[in-house]
Structure 1
Amino acid sequence: MEHIFITGAGGFLGRDLIRRLQSEGRYRLSASVRNAETHVAAGVVAHFTGAMDARSSWAAALAGVDVVVHCAARVHVLADTCADPLQAFREVNVAATLHLARQAAAAGVRRFVFISSIKVNGEESLAGRPYRPDDEPKPIDAYGLSKWEAEKGLLQLAEEVGMDIVIIRPVLIYGPGVKANFQNMMRYLCKGIPLPLGAIHNKRSFVALDNVTDLIVTCLDHPAASNQVFLVSDDEDLSTTELLRKMARALRAPARLVPVPAWLLTAAAKLLGLSGFSQRLCGTLQVDISKTRSLLGWAPRVGLDQALDGTARHFLDQNKR
């Protein structure tokens, strides 16, 4: 029985990955969490590691581990108040990641699966030219740059010590329990708040939580995944307007979308210092997952409509309480 060690077990992705691996019934599981108050699923050995940095000792946690899935990270935030955001991202996402990977190699771990981000590719793809895993990376912000630097360090480490590295770059992940902007979108729709997003003709890729965890499970032991970079999405791209309409339908709520031209929204956002936010609403970001499909024989486990329905049900159930 393979021993899988998951970092970030208290997070959105880490929790669901543990659920999925337990359902498989063929893995021994252990995980890291930042503090003892974090709930970990029954049957999973928890290691309380505190804040992850380049001084952490992972020896006890890595004993007997076959595969590490590294989900923990300093995550992207819209309004970072840190004095030096890039340095803060580098300390956790680069230095601490490589420190963990070196200790994993020394402990005999055979494969290290790193959850990166599509932000390594960039913030906006050209129309009709979706991002591919072999495109030249063009990260824009500190978070994306730190993830790219971690990827480069891990692949260099693979050459030095022979441990397999697998890199997965998800697009925006949604699913039951999703937070941040996706959760806010559902709140606005349920309240019937008019939104000036009825005439957005962009295209964006999204990925359901079930599909990310399914790809991770595939990458645990697939021989063709060794030292490769994979992009992942539902392979069903939508405009912001289409997403809002589908989400409203799933929530059984009205979609009160006012058809304001995208150029006007972009101009207004620029005046208000919200260019990054408007880019995520109006810009195009598509990914090509043909490599993931062909090299691994993988396809999305659930369709977008099914995944949106599950996300909506969970949101409605939680907000009844």
Structure 2
Amino acid sequence: MNILITGASGFVGQAFCKFLSQKEEVKLIVGASRSKIEIKGCHKTVNLDGNNNRLTAQDQLVKDLQNIDVVVHLAGRAHVMKDTESDIETAYHEVNVEYTCKLAEAAAQSGVKRLVFLSSIKVNGESTIHPFVVDDMPSPEDAYGRSKLAAEKCLFKIAKSSTLEVAIVRPALVYGEGVKGNLLSLQKLIKKRVPLPFGAMRNKRNLCSLDALCDLIWLCTIHPDAANQIFLAADAKQISSVELVNALANGLGVQARLVKLPQSLLKLMGFCLGKRDQVARVLGNLEVDVEFTSRTLGWIPEQDTQAALARMVSSK
């Protein structure tokens, strides 16, 4: 089976390529962008550059996708807390929507059987009263989430008018080897023994193990029941911010310094610093129900998030 991966140099992409390198039945083909990277087990590299508005011509995309069985589309403009773009909506739309649709149209024209798209739980929303389920009405609250939802809609529209099948994966916050962003920043603070104001928090949030996510993406490439479906991805159990910090501290071999501050004070501090929305997200719940994903595909999510987080940091 010929599988083409976009975003092979990214956090999830590198892990999934490593995962596929162990599958003898797979010929891994990398859709490269500006950066050239060495991918173990890579059979071929094609130039699929969707960055900086240099969208590959449609006829070239169609040509590059000849003889490809499955496209796993992991490339995209990632979510960041401090975005410096003057027009954030356009920046996300150009990469996450326009290029995704262009790639899917070329895949359909080339006879590709299936396209697996890495979306985000942010399509569902930023917080929960009840756990998110796959049938929830989408409620994205930022440009990134809206771009992922728009891309999903475009993919299903193309699938409806062609023989291309699509499978959508919406993971919660992903952690694993090589993680960056907020989780990496938190690790550094814990290691430096910086006091953290989360001691009084009792929120519940689902994370998503990188290893389990790779297994789910693989199932979406081969399972017949994955066609034209959306799958939520998260670990089996929720953890609190306190449990998250303690798990990372345990893996680092240090004692976490947690300070108990009332949530009302944290919200006030967020308001004064112009970070009200960010603080509200940290304090809130984000629970994800993956029963449909597990039942449909036979997928087994990570069962012990705290142990997996400790292993992640202790392996460095």
Normalised by the length of structure 1, the TM-score is 0.93
| 1:97 to 2:100 alignment | yes
Q: Which residue of the partner structure matches residue 108 of structure 1?
A: 111
Question: What do you get for the CA RMSD once the two structures are aligned?
Answer: 1.5
Aligned equivalents of 1:217, 1:162: Cα separation in 2: 20
Q: For structure 2, list consecutive stretches of 5 or more residues without a partner in the other structure.
A: none
Aligned equivalents of 2:302, 2:43: Cα separation in 1: 25
Higher alpha-carbon deviation: 96-105 or 43-52 = 43-52
Are the structure 2 counterparts of residues 43 and 309 from structure 1 closer, same or farther at C-alpha, using a change threshold of 3 Å?
same
Match of 2:75 among 61, 72, 76: 72
Q: Which residue of the partner structure matches residue 250 of structure 1?
A: 251
Q: Is the 8 A contact 2:116 2:166 kept in 1?
A: yes
Deviations 1:174-217 (Å, cap 9, x if unpaired)?
00110010001111111111111111111100011001001011
SS at match of 2:18: helix
How far apart are 1:41 and its partner, in Å? 2.6
Higher alpha-carbon deviation: 291-300 or 208-217 = 291-300
Q: Is the 8 A contact 1:114 1:166 kept in 2?
A: yes
Q: Which residue of the partner structure matches residue 63 of structure 1?
A: 66
Aligned equivalents of 1:212, 1:45: Cα separation in 2: 24
Higher alpha-carbon deviation: 177-186 or 23-32 = 23-32
Aligned equivalents of 1:193, 1:157: Cα separation in 2: 50
How far apart are 1:24 and its partner, in Å? 2.1
Aligned equivalents of 2:102, 2:225: Cα separation in 1: 25
Q: Is the 8 A contact 1:36 1:48 kept in 2?
A: no
Aligned equivalents of 2:175, 2:33: Cα separation in 1: 23
Q: Which residue of the partner structure matches residue 32 of structure 1?
A: 31
| 1:155 to 2:131 alignment | no
Aligned equivalents of 2:200, 2:43: Cα separation in 1: 47
Q: Is the 8 A contact 2:2 2:27 kept in 1?
A: yes
How far apart are 1:307 and its partner, in Å? 2.1
Aligned equivalents of 2:204, 2:88: Cα separation in 1: 29
Q: For structure 1, list consecutive stretches of 5 or more residues without a partner in the other structure.
A: none
Deviations 1:194-247 (Å, cap 9, x if unpaired)?
111111111100011001001011111111111100001011101111111111
How far apart are 1:302 and its partner, in Å? 6.0
Sequence identity (%)? 39
Aligned equivalents of 1:110, 1:253: Cα separation in 2: 49
Higher alpha-carbon deviation: 223-232 or 40-49 = 40-49
Aligned equivalents of 1:230, 1:311: Cα separation in 2: 25
| 1:48 to 2:51 alignment | no
Q: Which residue of the partner structure matches residue 20 of structure 2?
A: 21
Aligned equivalents of 2:81, 2:277: Cα separation in 1: 8
How far apart are 1:133 and its partner, in Å? 1.1
Deviations 1:102-133 (Å, cap 9, x if unpaired)?
0001111000101000010011111xx10111
Normalised by the length of structure 2, the TM-score is 0.95
How far apart are 1:61 and its partner, in Å? 2.9
Alignment-mate amino acid for residue 295 of structure 1: T
Alignment-mate amino acid for residue 95 of structure 1: E
- Report the number of matched residues: 312
Higher alpha-carbon deviation: 269-278 or 56-65 = 56-65
How far apart are 1:70 and its partner, in Å? 0.4
Higher alpha-carbon deviation: 276-285 or 216-225 = 276-285
Q: Is the 8 A contact 1:9 1:18 kept in 2?
A: yes
Aligned equivalents of 1:24, 1:260: Cα separation in 2: 49
Alignment-mate amino acid for residue 65 of structure 1: I
Q: Which residue of the partner structure matches residue 299 of structure 1?
A: 300
Higher alpha-carbon deviation: 158-167 or 295-304 = 295-304
Aligned equivalents of 2:222, 2:300: Cα separation in 1: 17
Are the structure 2 counterparts of residues 36 and 281 from structure 1 closer, same or farther at C-alpha, using a change threshold of 3 Å?
closer
Aligned equivalents of 1:42, 1:264: Cα separation in 2: 52
How far apart are 1:313 and its partner, in Å? 2.4
Q: Is the 8 A contact 1:3 1:30 kept in 2?
A: yes
Q: Which residue of the partner structure matches residue 278 of structure 1?
A: 279
How far apart are 1:94 and its partner, in Å? 0.7
Q: Which residue of the partner structure matches residue 223 of structure 2?
A: 222
Alignment-mate amino acid for residue 27 of structure 2: R
SS at match of 2:45: strand
| 1:87 to 2:90 alignment | yes
SS at match of 2:22: helix
Q: Is the 8 A contact 1:175 1:310 kept in 2?
A: no
Alignment-mate amino acid for residue 142 of structure 2: D
Q: Is the 8 A contact 1:93 1:150 kept in 2?
A: yes
